[in-house]
Structure 1
């Protein structure tokens, strides 16, 4: 009994000295917002700042700096939704400045709109840290500008990762990275975003992303009507490699090279993977073979040896020579390690590109024209639908090109036979009542992904029961 009591005393003391408790701030005005940031700088806790619904007219930059404060503690700033919480810089003020120094914790910013910010780097948001993981998600950045890098966002983390997910960037501008400028040694992921009408004086109208020892991964994004000198849609570079999968590039322009993408591979060992993308109606104006859709500097270290470039199952605008890799729409500087296959050049037949709808029409040549063997193939499309659907109804389930998968699946067609019937009900019933789905990952009926198969999942199944028009969908391996 005495030993057990001593253990409990030790456990309480251990928890008291080693567990960092989080502090939550609920702010409703700018004074409270800045006070919360100031307190969070040095309170030694993982902090969450909830910013209430409303429009906040920023007259002085909101600042958080932990050079002499917290060490390794996390910061989350979240609004009530990008359509509800709006931070407006009025065209003259940088909105949010975060610098965690050498030992700061991870930073997450989500669910808000940042408009009309202006700064040297990061007109909307500037986030810097030596080792932090940075996440920007479900925000809207519009009308922001920066003198140097990152009109909407400037994110730098030398040994941490950067993730930009489910955001909208429109009409932002900078010298580098009109929408986003990102630098990281450990890797950059840009997924499920929309970049439209952003501009850069030099590189990366939509995005400028560079990672040295890590990779740059760009997946399920829309890039439309962005402009720059180099890389109207994207400027990307990496020592180890860049992966560009299932994106749509339309109407982007470069005054020099790379209307859709301009990318550089710094070392011979670097690998560029470009799979399942749509490039259409992009332009570059350097003259000659300037890569209207895609320009690849595969010899970034200047030794006349090209890095590995894999170009498969993409749709380009119509003036690409895939065999040589050196043409008006496609230009690769050194092609000794270039491979390609199953690329096409046709009108992708978007639903309404003029008004920003880049879903595919039912007759699009991009339906079931991708490859399921693409590296890092996403399991869902930009809308959140399963990524591999038999969109053309030929009973061969192949991923589409571009950011959107064509077809409306039936949630309950477990056996993939085109209907939701008694055999599917038996499969659903076998899992009904399970609560371990988070841990096993094999619950067929957890449609809402909340870890169990319950009444809410039954309602989803019932809504499709009896359908006979279900296209087959595959899980991404």
Structure 2
């Protein structure tokens, strides 16, 4: 379905389900149409309460679009990416389920599917909020190739053929209060940063996130150059490799501070200043059940400095003499 009108809202009626199913329909792999819903060159478009599934290309594709909202929708089963928005400005991606996409890459054929589960390409001014992004065969959330000026917050991003969140040549991005876990593949990290197409990217803030169970580590720098990356007040635990690591490329002028890094190593990292990180047992309430709030006596309590105004749960910081290190402020 090509959207040909600006200022258009497609919304399911309250209590009703609207399904757009690409099974046995266009776009085919030979079609020039790149999405089951295509909004190229459109402005002020809202898609709400839709199920978009089984596209033989992308689920939703919007090139050179602006002022676009996608909310309360399910995007699933696309052969290529679930959602791609590129070469424009102004997007709100809110409260969606994005899962089972990139099936062309199933079985480990990385690159066989075009783009990722949720991709922003050379895009500015965006919010990606309160989405569940899971079980996709490429990266989960990918902001890349000059994307800038946006936030990725309060999402659950898991079991993607990761990194679960990928920042590739993007700048001025804030990643906060996400749950990021169980990336697939031995090298896949919770959050990956790279500059695959050359140049340097900068000014990325990563804070208040809970990151665990990713085989490739918590926060991983893969290739290219980054500067001014701030990793602070995160709880990073039980990842297969280091809490933060630089595998290749270079990082400069960056800080990792006030993080809990437990059951994954955190040591000297080229280009990073390390401050007040807790690597001893932080005394989680019940890590086995996913409760990584702090118990009394934790070495992280009141030990931080210069914290965000709220914690992972949105509660005010600090309580007590100082802010608690990690994603949660104990009450």
TM range, normalised to the smaller chain?
0.7 to 0.9
Name 1:162's counterpart in structure 2: 126
Pick aligned residue for 1:280 from 234, 237, 246: 237
Deviation at 1:75, TM superposition (A): 1.3
Pick aligned residue for 2:280 from 319, 322, 346: 346
Q: Which has the higher strand share?
A: 2
* Distance of aligned partners of 1:143 and 1:159 in 2 relative to their CA distance in 1, 3 Å threshold: closer
* Distance of aligned partners of 1:143 and 1:271 in 2 relative to their CA distance in 1, 3 Å threshold: same
Partner SS, residue 74 of structure 1: strand
* 1:106-160 deviation digits (Å, cap 9, x = unpaired): 2111112223x2223x1x22222x222222111122222253355421221x252
Partner SS, residue 89 of structure 2: coil
* Distance of aligned partners of 1:346 and 1:98 in 2 relative to their CA distance in 1, 3 Å threshold: same
**Is residue 96 from structure 1 mapped to residue 59 from structure 2 by the alignment?**
yes
* Distance of aligned partners of 1:140 and 1:347 in 2 relative to their CA distance in 1, 3 Å threshold: farther
Partner SS, residue 163 of structure 1: strand
Distance in 2 between residues matched to 1:244 and 1:154, nearest whole Å: 19
**Is residue 295 from structure 1 mapped to residue 257 from structure 2 by the alignment?**
no
Name 2:315's counterpart in structure 1: 386
Name 1:114's counterpart in structure 2: 75
Pick aligned residue for 2:38 from 64, 70, 84: 64
Deviation at 1:299, TM superposition (A): 4.6
Higher relative contact order (CA 8 A, sep 6+): 2
Q: Where do residues 223-302 of structure 1 align in structure 2 (5 Å cutoff)?
A: 223-228=180-185, 230-237=187-194, 239-254=201-216, 259-263=217-221, 266-267=224-225, 270-284=227-241, 292-296=242-246, 299-300=249-250
**Is residue 194 from structure 1 mapped to residue 161 from structure 2 by the alignment?**
no
TM-score under structure 1 length normalisation: 0.57
Partner SS, residue 131 of structure 1: strand
Partner SS, residue 365 of structure 1: coil
Q: Which has the larger radius of gyration?
A: 1
* Distance of aligned partners of 1:199 and 1:367 in 2 relative to their CA distance in 1, 3 Å threshold: same
Distance in 2 between residues matched to 1:215 and 1:228, nearest whole Å: 28
Distance in 2 between residues matched to 1:262 and 1:236, nearest whole Å: 6
- Pairwise CA RMSD of aligned residues? 3.0
Are the aligned partners of 1:239 and 1:265 in contact in 2 as well (CA < 8 Å)? no
TM-score under structure 2 length normalisation: 0.79
Pick aligned residue for 2:90 from 117, 133, 149: 133
Are the aligned partners of 1:366 and 1:401 in contact in 2 as well (CA < 8 Å)? no
Q: Where do residues 307-456 of structure 1 align in structure 2 (5 Å cutoff)?
A: 307-318=252-263, 320=265, 322=267, 325=268, 332=269, 334-335=270-271, 338-355=272-289, 357-363=290-296, 365=298, 368-369=301-302, 371-374=304-307, 377=308, 379-383=309-313, 385-390=314-319, 395-402=320-327, 404-407=328-331
Distance in 1 between residues matched to 2:283 and 2:329, nearest whole Å: 13
Q: Which has the higher helix share?
A: 1
Name 1:21's counterpart in structure 2: none
Distance in 2 between residues matched to 1:313 and 1:381, nearest whole Å: 12
Deviation at 1:399, TM superposition (A): 4.5
Are the aligned partners of 1:199 and 1:228 in contact in 2 as well (CA < 8 Å)? yes
Deviation at 1:253, TM superposition (A): 0.6
Structure 2: gaps (5+ residues): 26-34, 106-110, 195-199
Deviation at 1:295, TM superposition (A): 1.1
Deviation at 1:388, TM superposition (A): 0.8
